[in-house]
Chain A
Amino acid sequence: MHKIWLIIKREYITRVKTKAFLITTLIVPLPGIVTIALIAFVARHGSNESLRIAIVDNAGGLATSLSRNLDGTLSNGKPQFVVVDAIDRPASTESSEQDLRARINSGALDAYLVVPADFTQPFEFHTKNPGNFAIFAPLASAVNRALVEARLRAHGIHVDDVSDITRDANLQIIKVSASGESVERGQTFGISIGLVILLYMSLLMYGIITMRSVLEEKTTRTMEVLISSVRPSQLLVGKILGVAGAAFTQFLVWVISLGLLVSYGAIVAVLFNPGYSFPVIHFPIVMVIWATLFFFCGYFLYSSMFAAVGAACSSENEAGQLQWLAMGPLVFAISIYWVVLTDPTSTTSLVLSEIPFLSPILMPLRLSLQAAPVWQTSLSIVLLLLTIVGVIWASAKIYRIGVLMYGKRPTVPELLRWLRYS
């Protein structure tokens, strides 16, 4: 045990101390955090002041209803828009616009809206700051409502507030699950797909890192010194755990920054859209535990397969040719995940999620859709654990023979023969 611990420690420290590790750990979440933080900052500090606008109404009679419909408020309670000037059917559009442009440039005005005489022509919004997208949605809806009011009036119907009549029906998707009901706005699908991609990427990435690490010991011929003091199986286990330690350190950093990212996102969403409630994500803790368990099992399964591939080859090149052995099932799982996603309770989905090489990805997916009863999950994990024992045994065999083999890349039948060596 002490020797395994030494191997783990060396592997972990060596991995964590590299520049590449530091860079990927910090750089990957950094642009996201910076962007979101910047948007949140701009949104908070840029929208504290009401937007002073003027209306040039070439059609006539629209300015009043427009002003009424520009009724949004900012987070500090101020109105979002203040109509400082309304020019009804100007004698010369050109000269009044020139005048307004001068006022914008002098800072007395923020923007002006030009209503066309003919409504088939576009409305124009002139602003110094066309990037302020927070105002576009309320502006467009105010213009639409004013326009509808005008058209209704033309048909002899007078309404004070058209929004009462034209409001869309609100269709809500409610997800029913064992733990109750929650409003669905796509967050479950989003999370499930995110989970699948995350599992796939991390199994693949850290598998390949383990393979490279074994290969490095072979190509640098460090292997013979190592296995003259530790058993190959100890080396294998220590290496997988050491890489795992580094991987989880990285993961922790990412998860924390993802948490920050999501909360920033929520703040921004609320800033832009007061009254918007962030969709509820319903994850029972039991499910999180199961998913973590599957991830760990998948990690050991695939890492030991990748380690065996690394041990069987003597160069990156050869490993590139042989790594499909370990990658194959993983790629298959990712290419059929939609079968499970669209119908997680079907028999096909059940069978697929019980197959040991696929279950580390497909069972957490079904769990995230809350479509797997406990007996199916338990059966899947038992099958997975049995497979892991077998795969680690076989990998340790291949590892033991492979680590000292140099020269020609072994074929698959040769690899199978290695399993029979004592």
Chain B
Amino acid sequence: MDALSLENVTKSYDSVTAVDSVNLRVRQGAILGLLGPNGAGKTTTIRMVMHILVPDSGAIRVLGQPVSDDSRDSIGYLPEERGLYPRMEVRRLIVFLGALHGLSEAEADRRAREWLDRFELSEWSEKKLADLSKGMQQKVQFICSVLHRPPIVILDEPFSGLDPVNATVVKDIMLEMRDQGSTIVLSTHRMEQVEKMCDSICLINKGRNVLDGDLRAIKQSYGKNTLHIEYTGGDGFLSHPCVASINRFGSGAEAKLKPGADPQEILRAAVQSGAQITRFELLEPSLSDIFIEKTAHA
């Protein structure tokens, strides 16, 4: 059984079709990266899963059941637009939202203390939310979305505003939840996070899904067509006919090869040009490249 499935889901506002027959399946216990440029329809899709919006057509299932008010208690949701009652005390707020998700207040309070402790926020628990820094508020909101231990967690840009230490804490918690059987939908623009964490991805552009499936399989299907070269000296050799595009950075460059091109020819050209090669590696394309390719041509 899939944790989450969308079948031909369509939603339009007035004349704009925000989501156009999107199909999506998330296996239980997997981390799915929900990707797409700004305005692609990700938030609308998530809101339909949360039953905040109702699709015009198509079917959404949560843990095998059609989406409903009750199905929402099985989902933890961290919206991209952050915000909680600024004048409420931190722990009271967490308990309130936990209770709204069906926990008893005593249980919500117990869990709130645990989580605040884990995020080193215990001394802030009686303070008003507005007195906390942005990063701390972010952590509080993350706690609110997972307090009721939902089998499915939808996190929209969970790392934004977090310093590397806290980002690591959040990442570890996500992996821990995955290992305990939770399903996680991660919506983010940080491709390196997706590459590190996600088992599968779904790329949406202009309301349609343009790419979905197992992340490793997708990357393999592109083959090793990217050349990572580090060198000193002139880079004239990079204007070789086999190179489709170049992405330069400080110590070297990433060159995308034309289909059927032989990377050895470029190496030969580089040596002939007199450049000192310190690294020469053939790679699968980065997710970032796939993202740009898929969304630029659609």
Contact = CB atoms under 8 A, between A and B. Distances in A.
**B53, B73, B81, B100, most chain A CB atoms within 10 A:** B100
Nearest to A234: B69
Given A3-B100, A6-B100, A422-B54, A228 B77 contact: yes
A interface secondary structure, majority: helix
B177 interface: no
A222 interface: yes
B interface secondary structure, majority: loop
Nearest to A403: B52
Nearest to A3: B100
Q: Size band of the A side of the interface?
A: 20 to 34
B52 A404 contact: yes
A6 B99 CA distance: 8
Given A3-B100, A225-B97, 16 more contacts: A6-B96, A14-B88, A216-B85, A220-B85, A222-B85, A224-B52, A224-B79, A224-B83, A225-B79, A225-B83, A228-B75, A228-B77, A228-B79, A229-B97, A229-B100, A404-B52
Q: Size band of the B side of the interface?
A: 20 to 34
A151 interface: no
Interface in A275-308: none
Contacts of B97: 225, 229
Interface in B50-89: 50, 52-54, 69, 72-73, 75, 77, 79, 81-88
Interface string B132-143: 000000000100
A404 B149 CA distance: 26
A415 interface: no
Contacts of A7: 100
Contacts of B144: 225
A6 B53 CA distance: 23
B47 interface: yes
A158 interface: no
B101 interface: yes
B81 A231 contact: no
Interface in A210-224: 216-217, 220-224
**B83, B84, B86, most chain A CB atoms within 10 A:** B83
A227 B52 contact: yes
A10 interface: yes
A230 interface: yes
Interface string A221-249: 11111111111000000000000000000
Nearest to A18: B87
Contacts of A404: 47, 52-53
A14 B81 contact: no
A225 B52 CA distance: 10
Contacts of A10: 88, 96
A18 B84 CA distance: 18
B136 to A, nearest CB: 16
A231 B69 contact: yes
A205 B83 CA distance: 27
Interface in A9-51: 10, 14, 18
Interface string B86-107: 1110000000110111000000
Contacts of A223: 83
Interface in B99-128: 99-101
24 contacts: A6-B96, A6-B99, A14-B85, A14-B87, A18-B87, A216-B85, A220-B84, A221-B79, A221-B82, A222-B84, A222-B85, A223-B83, A224-B81, A225-B79, A225-B83, A225-B84, A225-B97, A228-B50, A228-B72, A229-B72, A229-B73, A229-B101, A230-B100, A231-B69
Nearest to B154: A228
A75 B127 CA distance: 58
Contacts of B75: 228
Contacts of A228: 50, 52, 72, 75, 77, 79
Nearest to B83: A221
Nearest to A406: B81
